[in-house]
Amino acid sequence: MANKAVKVGLLGLGTVGGGVARLLMEKRAELSAYLGVDLQLARAVDLEPARAEELGLAPGVFSSDSWSILEDGDIDIVVETVGGLEPARAMVLTALNKGKGVVTANKALLASHGVEIFQTARQQGVGIAFEASVGGGIPLVRSLRDSLAANRVTSCLGILNGTCNFILSRMTAEGAPFDQVLAQAQEKGYAEADPTFDVEGTDTAHKLAIVASLVTGAQPRLDDIPTEGITKITPLDIQFAGEFGFKIKLLAVLNNQGGKVEARVHPALVPHDHLLASVEGPFNALHVNGDWVGQVLLYGQGAGRRPTASAVVGDVLELARDVAAGVPGRVPPLGTQASGGRRLDLAPLDDARCQYYCRFAALDQPGVLASVARELGSFNISIEKVTQKGRQEAGPVPIVMLTHEAREADLRGALKKIDALPEIVEPTVVIRMA
């Protein structure tokens, strides 16, 4: 083995950071032999000394001063597992400006400040790696950046949040309402005490922003990604979707067919025979279409201490290899020399075209279906399938339609008219089709 050492500084010893520390220590000999250099966990910082004691860090490794790692000239690679926007942003930028490679799993940070961070890495000639920011242990970032680089990726459909996928899977299997299954997810540790970030789609939007950056070489503004969560999905809609041959999943959608790119997050009807329909529980997947490779499915555990730590340490090995070879920053952050510092303008949601599931709550009287169909027709929206069931209890009758492909703005215009009809007593439920 070469005498050179590559020294790692770790910011944060929580769920992910603790897993990273344990993996680096337990497999130090194996990983060092793989690299041909001594890979050392030289420094680790956390505000809770008990975490360091639990991990059994060597004497002199632990500190409660985050900035001590950043000022340490011997540290080659900084691993950020603090999370959030600040002080994580300041720490990452400081590390890069001091010539240190950076590994991060912080999707919120990259989605919000990726342009600035990637620009800084390029200017300083150092590497930044972020495999664990999307899909946990799934090798998704490298696949898009490297393995599929010869392709123009024409579309991506992703199940990128395990909490939402677990909830929808259990609602489908049990016919239980959202609130009941959310409580199950919290009991099992799949959902946080405050699950808003997950169930409202924000977490998925962060990951989609990173996917879009990898596919296009430019970064969308997070606020430009239309985002809907799963809190309004009901067992009734899941039942009707199943009768039509679909499952409901929270999808990250990227269309790159030419012209402006579409990116959005929302519940969607996925056909039973689609590869994503079989992704259940807390698992993640990304379905990619490339102009030469065709269809690719990347699947695995999207979160958790061990899968995420695996991805982080894989990034450490990538940067350590470049440091040892004297070529830090060899691979641009998004893979292409044209990347970094560019913004991606997204197509407006109004211009999107797809098929729609619409559930109308109507009074039980003649002519309602004809009235609804007439308003849809006035916006050039045709109906593919329709089902109407009799009232089972006191209340409105559900009428469910699947439309042919239509423009989003046209559907919204039609629904505004339909919801104003005296026969329609509740706002129409709309779910896009994948």
- Residues in binding site: 11-18, 107, 192
Asked if residues 270 and 250 have their Cβ atoms less than 8 Å apart, the reply is no
Q: Which two tokens stand for residue 57?
A: 């860090």
How many whole angstroms separate alpha carbon 268 and alpha carbon 336?
32
Sheet of 153-159, strand order: 294-301, 283-290, 153-159, 246-255, 262-271, 424-433, 356-362, 397-403, 383-388
Residue with tokens 């899941």, as numbered in its chain: 238
Asked if residues 165 and 181 have their Cβ atoms less than 8 Å apart, the reply is no
Active site residue 207: yes
| Selected catalytic residue, list 207, 247, 249, 385 | 207
Q: Which two tokens stand for residue 180?
A: 């009941």
Residues annotated as binding site for L-homoserine?
A: 192
Phi, psi of 248 (to 5 degrees): -100, 125
Give me the torsion for CA of 250, 335, 315, 156, rounded to 10°.
10
Pairing of strands 383-388, 397-403: antiparallel
Phi, psi of 235 (to 5 degrees): -55, -30
| Secondary structure (3-state) at 62 | strand
Residues annotated as binding site for NADPH?
A: 107
Residues annotated as binding site for NADP(+)?
A: 11-18
Percentage helix, strand, coil, to 5, in the chain?
A: 40, 25, 35
Phi, psi of 65 (to 5 degrees): -105, 105
Give me the torsion for CA of 399, 400, 401, 407, rounded to 10°.
100
Which residues are catalytic, by number? Answer: 207
